[in-house]
Structure formats: C-alpha cells, structure tokens
Amino acid sequence: MYIVPKLDDYSPEALDRAVTELRQALSREEASISSQSEWKEFRDRWLARKNGILTQLNNVWLKPSPPDLKRTVGQVINALHPEIEHFVMNGQSRVEDIRTVLGSLSKDILASERLDITLPGIRRPIGVKHPVLRVMDEIVAVFKAMGYSVGKGPEVETDYYNFESLNFPPNHPARDTQDTLFIAGQEGKPARDRLMLRTHTSPVQIRTMEQQPPPVRIIIPGKVHRNDPLDATHSPVFHQVEGLAVDTNITFCDLKGTLDHAMKALFGSSVKTRFYPSFFPFTEPSADMQVSCIFCGGKGCRKCKFSGWIELLGCGMVDPNVFEFVKQYGYDSSKISGFAFGMGVDRLALLKYEVEGIQMFFEGDVRFLEQFA
Ligand SMILES: [Zn+2]
C-alpha cells in the first residue's frame, strides 16, 4: 500500500523520484482490482476529498515546501490529478468488463433454462368417469331425485351381514348361487364373524336399518365380488345398485310404481316394465323385472335375443324374517313393510355402450376407456 512520503529534498531529481514511485504504486493498485467494491475502495483511497492521496499530497508535499518552490510543487501535483483520474476510470471499465463477462455467462445459463411462455402448454388429460361409474351415478341420481339417500358399506363383510341376516341360514342352498370369495385364516372364528368379500350390496340394507329407525329410503351403489371365472358376461368383480324402502303400508304397487318410474327416467318415457315371479332369500314375494328392449323398442333384436324384453333387476317385498334381525332397532314386521331391489350396473353399461365383454371395463386399457372421454 502506497503511503505518501515526506519530502526533505525538493530538488527536481528528488521530486521526479517521488512522482515515479507514486505512479508505480497507482498502476500496481489499479491492476489488482477485480470487483466493483475493490474499485470503489481504490477510487476513494486516491481521490476522496477529505483524506485521499491527492489531498494528502497537498498537505505532505506542498504545504511544507520552501516558498520559492511552492509553484513548481503545485504544478507537479496538479499534473498528477488527471493521471490518477485516468487510472480510476481505467479500473472502473475493467471491473465493468468483468461484470459483463459474468453477466453473459449467466445469460447462457438463463438461455438454456429459458421457459418459452408462448409455447402451447403440456396437455395433461383430465380423467373422466369410468363408464360403469357413470351408469351407476345415473341410476343413483334417479333415486336421489325421488328422495332416496345414498348408503355405503364395507366391501369385506362378515358372514352375518352378507348371508345370515339376509335370511340365508348356514348351509342353506341359496348360498350356492353366490360363489363366495372367503378371506383365509378365519376358521378360528364363529361362523357368523368370518370375513368374505361381499357377494352383493344387500348387507348395507341391514347396516342401514341398524343405524336408523323406519322410515328408510336408501340407494346403495357398490362393488361386489363373486368367485366367477372371467368370461364375456361374468367377472369376479362387478357392481350393483341396491335399493330399500321401508315404511308403514308399503305394498308391491309401490315397488312397481317406483321401479317403473325409475326405468322411464333412465331409458325414456316409452319404456315398459313387467314383473315375473322369482326367488331371493331376503324378499317374499320376489320378482324379476324386465324392461321393453331399449334398443328395438320391443320389436325384437340381437340385444334382447329377439324377445323384445331385457331382464334388468331382481326385487321383492322385504321378507319378514329379515326384519326379525333388526327388530330391536324399531323394525316390527307387523307394523311396517318394505321393498328392495338390486341391479347389476356392469350389465347395464354393457348394453348401453354396446361393449362386447365385461372384462373390457376392468383391463384398464386406455384405448378402450378413451372412447368415453
Ligand atoms: Zn331388442
């Protein structure tokens, strides 16, 4: 670091030496600057009005100089002023060059990571409802409009809720119609507590009646499982929508009227319904309901196997034996009655979308599912 030396000798040779020393220091210091802050320090060190080196020259060299040489010393110092300023400016432009280089470097980086907001965005396809879910929601919506609420229950169910309380006694042959998938390792439990994948949504009827006294109007959509090998119309996983209405004075006419209205809401007002005797353990009497073919209007086509009718659901009046299981919750079969119905959603979706095999719904093939987007 340069310190302004006192001059004992004011001879022209001595002054020359001192000025040369100063110039060398100035040049050295300027060359060592590499940043904006170092440059500012350099500038102030040499040019600051209060104690910069230029000011010090006046105090250290000029003031103590012999009066007859003051003029010469003053001229030497004045000549140094523009030189110092020249170096300060040089330093500044050099630092700015460094900044420019750094700036252009980061510009390269910026350019490589640049986001062109004028490009079209990346399309992220929004999922749509699965065709089975869509049909299920349509059915549920029809019943919601009639004042039904939506009920849900577990897919892993106990023997009690899936069979026993729905009037399928142990070893009853009706159980054979529902090939059941049982959960392994249940042998240690009492028969009614053993777990299985529910074979129908009907257990939710019992669960609902345990939760609330009559009247009940409930629609139950859900996934069910049976030990059916996969073919065009069977799948070990399928979907049902189940309905239950319990109140005083509910008759088979209410059942027919409700379902007839629902089918007209689903398929159009020209659709007709008819009921055939059938059997289910939890309804008495039981019926199968058919609708006039929604494709040919009843004339006969491939879809209705040229009969003009399509079998769509099972239904019936709730068997008094079922009410026995929920008697303590306010269901006295001498005072109340009800009807229940259930339909396979997948079969409806097969018909509606003219799909060849039920497995198409569950294979997750996007090319198939995209058709419903
Ligand atoms: Zn038809």
Over range 182-204, report the average pLDDT.
Answer: 90
The one-letter code for the residue type at 34 is S
The b-or-e profile of 10-26 (16+ CB within 10 A means b, else e) is beeeebeebbeebeebb
The b-or-e profile of 317-339 (16+ CB within 10 A means b, else e) is bbbbebbebbeeeebebeebbbb
Mean pLDDT lowest for which of 17-21, 30-34, 172-176?
Answer: 172-176
- The confidence score (pLDDT) of residue 37 equals 87
Are the C-beta atoms of residues 220 and 150 closer than 8 Å to each other? yes
Report how far ligand 1's centroid is from the alpha carbon of 178 (Å).
Answer: 29
- The confidence score (pLDDT) of residue 298 equals 87
Report how far ligand 1's centroid is from the alpha carbon of 224 (Å).
Answer: 28
Report how far ligand 1's centroid is from the alpha carbon of 272 (Å).
Answer: 13
Structure tokens at 168: 């399928």
HEC letters along the chain:
CCCCCCCCCCCHHHHHHHHHHHHHHHHHHHHCCCCHHHHHHHHHHHHCCCCCHHHHHHHHHHCCCCCCCHHHHHHHHHHHHHHHHHHHHHHHHHHHHHHHHHHHHHHHHHHHCCCCCCCCCCCCCCCCCCHHHHHHHHHHHHHHHCCCEECCCCCEEEHHHHCHHHCCCCCCHHHHHCCCCECCCCCCCCHHHCEEECCCCCHHHHHHHHHCCCCEEEEEEEEEECCCCCCCCCCCEEEEEEEEEEECCCCHHHHHHHHHHHHHHHHCCCCCEEEEEEEECCEEEEEEEEEECCCCCCCCCCCCCCCCEEEEEEEEEECHHHHHHCHHHCCCCCCCEEEEEEEEHHHHHHHHHCCCCHHHHCCCCHHHHHHHC
- The confidence score (pLDDT) of residue 341 equals 96
Over range 149-161, report the average pLDDT.
Answer: 94
Report how far ligand 1's centroid is from the alpha carbon of 185 (Å).
Answer: 47
Which are the contacts of 199, defined by CB distance < 8 A and separation ≥ 6? Answer: 162, 178, 179, 180, 224, 225, 226
- Strand 195-197, strand 337-344: pairing: unpaired
Report how far ligand 1's centroid is from the alpha carbon of 312 (Å).
Answer: 13
The C-alpha atoms of residue 356 and residue 12 are separated, in whole angstroms, by 113
Higher pLDDT, 191 or 199: 199
pLDDT surpasses 70 at 177: no
Instruction: Say if residue 215 is preceded by a cis peptide, omega within 30 of 0.
Output: yes
Q: What is the pLDDT of residues 44-92, one digit of tens each?
A: 999 888 888 988 988 888 888 888 888 888 888 888 888 888 888 888 8
Instruction: Give percent of the chain above pLDDT 70.
Output: 99
Over range 186-200, report the average pLDDT.
Answer: 89
Report how far ligand 1's centroid is from the alpha carbon of 56 (Å).
Answer: 112
Report how far ligand 1's centroid is from the alpha carbon of 131 (Å).
Answer: 21
Report how far ligand 1's centroid is from the alpha carbon of 306 (Å).
Answer: 6
Report how far ligand 1's centroid is from the alpha carbon of 292 (Å).
Answer: 8
Report how far ligand 1's centroid is from the alpha carbon of 195 (Å).
Answer: 41
The C-alpha atoms of residue 196 and residue 163 are separated, in whole angstroms, by 10
The C-alpha atoms of residue 264 and residue 244 are separated, in whole angstroms, by 19
Q: What is the pLDDT of residues 6-31, one digit of tens each?
A: 888 888 888 899 999 999 998 898 88
Report how far ligand 1's centroid is from the alpha carbon of 83 (Å).
Answer: 106
- The confidence score (pLDDT) of residue 49 equals 87
Mean pLDDT lowest for which of 123-127, 321-325, 362-366?
Answer: 123-127
Report how far ligand 1's centroid is from the alpha carbon of 268 (Å).
Answer: 15
Q: What is the pLDDT of residues 235-284, one digit of tens each?
A: 889 999 999 999 999 999 999 999 999 999 988 899 999 999 999 989 99
Report how far ligand 1's centroid is from the alpha carbon of 358 (Å).
Answer: 20
Over range 162-178, report the average pLDDT.
Answer: 80
Over range 123-143, report the average pLDDT.
Answer: 90
Report how far ligand 1's centroid is from the alpha carbon of 310 (Å).
Answer: 8
For the chain, the C-alpha Rg in angstroms (whole number) is 47
The residue to which tokens 């409009």 are assigned: 145
pLDDT surpasses 90 at 141: yes
Q: Which of 26, 265, 239, 227 is nearest to 144 (CA)?
A: 265
Report how far ligand 1's centroid is from the alpha carbon of 295 (Å).
Answer: 5
Report how far ligand 1's centroid is from the alpha carbon of 302 (Å).
Answer: 6
Report how far ligand 1's centroid is from the alpha carbon of 356 (Å).
Answer: 16
Report how far ligand 1's centroid is from the alpha carbon of 341 (Å).
Answer: 23
Report how far ligand 1's centroid is from the alpha carbon of 167 (Å).
Answer: 36
Are the C-beta atoms of residues 313 and 259 closer than 8 Å to each other? yes
Are the C-beta atoms of residues 176 and 199 closer than 8 Å to each other? no
Report how far ligand 1's centroid is from the alpha carbon of 23 (Å).
Answer: 108
Are the C-beta atoms of residues 255 and 339 closer than 8 Å to each other? yes
C-alpha of 49 from chain center = 67
- The confidence score (pLDDT) of residue 216 equals 95
pLDDT surpasses 90 at 145: yes
pLDDT surpasses 80 at 102: no
The C-alpha atoms of residue 370 and residue 133 are separated, in whole angstroms, by 15
Q: What is the pLDDT of residues 209-239, one digit of tens each?
A: 999 999 999 999 999 999 888 887 788 899 9
Report how far ligand 1's centroid is from the alpha carbon of 145 (Å).
Answer: 28
Q: Which of 136, 142, 140, 131 is nearest to 354 (CA)?
A: 131
Report how far ligand 1's centroid is from the alpha carbon of 309 (Å).
Answer: 7
